[in-house]
Structure formats: structure tokens, C-alpha cells
Amino acid sequence: MHAEFEKLAREAAAANESYEQYLLRLTELEVAARASNALQARIRAADFPVHKDFDTFDFTAVPALNKPKMLELARGEWIEQRANACLIGSPGTGKTHCAVALGLAACRLGKRVRFYTAAALVTRLEEAQKQYQLDRVLNQLDRTDLLICDELGYLSFSRAGAELLFQVFADRYERRSLLVTSNLAFSEWGQVFQGERMTAALLDRLTHRCHIFEMNGESFRFRESMKSKKNKKSE
């Protein structure tokens, strides 16, 4: 308001506006600026690794992906319902891209989002435990409406790491949303979590009320690099 009041007053005087109209316009400007700052702060706090949105996502490249359902999720009702989402598929099929796009959509809806790779999340939890800060970190995670856990399955964890991740997933069950991406089919998650019992208990919670997307297909990265090689050859 401080930055704009003089300019708006001049404009209002020139346009012969009433004081109420001027005040309304000034207040609207302030409200819009605050909303935009708050959104930027939420996006920063989410700590996305890249900024990818649905406008740059080519749905025709992944015919197996249910586009209407994905765009439906971008409307955020699933987060209100404390449901989960899983994006499962081979590398390069756009899982991280869609996870970030869903995260951005949630930020725009005023949700608190936090993005981690599974490996970084486990490291964070293990470090916190070592420093007797685990409760604090768990509380921080608990305050997020949507926790994104990317790349589950590329690395397997120690027993203790797997247990910490299990604790986070189980804590969120029916209270907060979780989005997990993985290159592994559910039947292979035992490799990551070690122990049939823990894997079964975890999958049971995660997949109850879960939107599951299968994103298998050719790698987008691979396809793009083949395309550019072909173009170079034909040049």
C-alpha cells in the first residue's frame, strides 16, 4: 500500500473517483500482493527440484497415463480428502514432472507442500534421529498437507532407515496426503523396505484410498535424445 498509494491517488483524482473507490483499489492491490507473496513462499518451502508444470507436459507421449484423472488431481480435492497418490513407472516417463506439477497445483490452492527424494528424506530422518531432533522433524513433516516422496526404489535403505520412512508414511495415514513415485511395481517394494511384514503393512496404508497412475512406456529423455540424433544425421 505504501509503495502504491501516491500513484493510485493521482490516478483516482484524474479519473474523478470517489475516496471509497480509491481505498478499495488500494486494498485490493495489497491483498493481491500478499496472496502472491504467500504463494511464492509456499513454493519455496516446498523445495521442488525443478519447476515443471502441466502446460509443458505432453500427455500424448504417455498414452497409458489417464490424463483426465491427472488433471482432476490438480484440482486438489484428493488432498482435502487426505488421500494418497502413486506414480509408478519406468525411468524417464514423467513421474517427477507430474509430481512437481501436482505439488505446484497444491501450492496454488494454498496447501503446504514438501518435496523430497526418498533417499534425501531417509537421510534427513536419520540425521535428525542422531541429533535427537527426530520429533521436531516429524512435526515439521506433519504440518505439510502434501508430502512428495520421489524416486522410491532406486536405493534400498538400512533397516533403521526403512523403519523411519515407514513411521512417516504410517503417521500420515488418513490424516495427510502422500505422493510417492517409484520405478518399482508394488510387488517389488519388499526390496526397498526389507521384510515382508513391514512392506505389507506400509502398502496396506499407502494404497488404501490411493490414486494410482501407471506411467510405463518409453523414456521421454531417451526419445528426445534419439530424435535429436536423427535430426543431426539428416542435417
Cβ count within 10 A of residue 114: 19
Q: Which is nearer to ligand ADP, 56 or 139 (CB)?
A: 56
User: Using CB atoms, what's the residue nearest to Mg ion?
Assistant: 96
Among 42, 97, 172, 205, binds ligand ADP (CB under 6 A): 97
CB of 149 to Mg ion, least distance (A): 11
For the chain, the residue count is 235
Amino acid at 185: A
Out of ligand ADP, Mg ion, none, what residue 153 binds, judged by CB under 5 to 8 A for its kind, is none
Amino acid at 183: N
Cα–Cα nearest to 114, from 138, 93, 134: 138
| Candidate ranges 35-43, 95-103, 127-135, 186-194; the one touching ligand ADP (CB under 6 A) | 95-103
| Candidate ranges 90-98, 123-131, 156-164, 200-208; the one touching Mg ion (CB under 5 A) | 90-98
Q: Which is nearer to Mg ion, 100 or 109 (CB)?
A: 100
Cβ count within 10 A of residue 224: 12
DSSP at 211: E
Q: Is 57 in the site for ligand ADP (CB under 6 A)?
A: yes
- What are the residues facing 178 on neighbouring strands? 147
DSSP at 86: E
Q: Is 76 in the site for ligand ADP (CB under 6 A)?
A: no
User: Using CB atoms, what's the residue nearest to ligand ADP?
Assistant: 94
Q: What whole-number distance in Å separates Cα of residue 163 and Cα of residue 193?
A: 8
Q: By the 8 A CB rule, do 186 and 205 touch?
A: no
Count residues near Mg ion (CB under 5 A).
1
Q: Which is nearer to Mg ion, 96 or 199 (CB)?
A: 96
Cβ count within 10 A of residue 155: 12
Coil, helix or strand at residue 151: strand
Among 93, 96, 144, 177, binds Mg ion (CB under 5 A): 96
Q: Which is nearer to Mg ion, 96 or 177 (CB)?
A: 96
Summarize as ranges the residues that interact with ligand ADP (CB under 6 A).
52, 56-58, 61-62, 91-97, 220-221
Please report, as ranges, the residues that interact with Mg ion according to CB under 5 A: 96
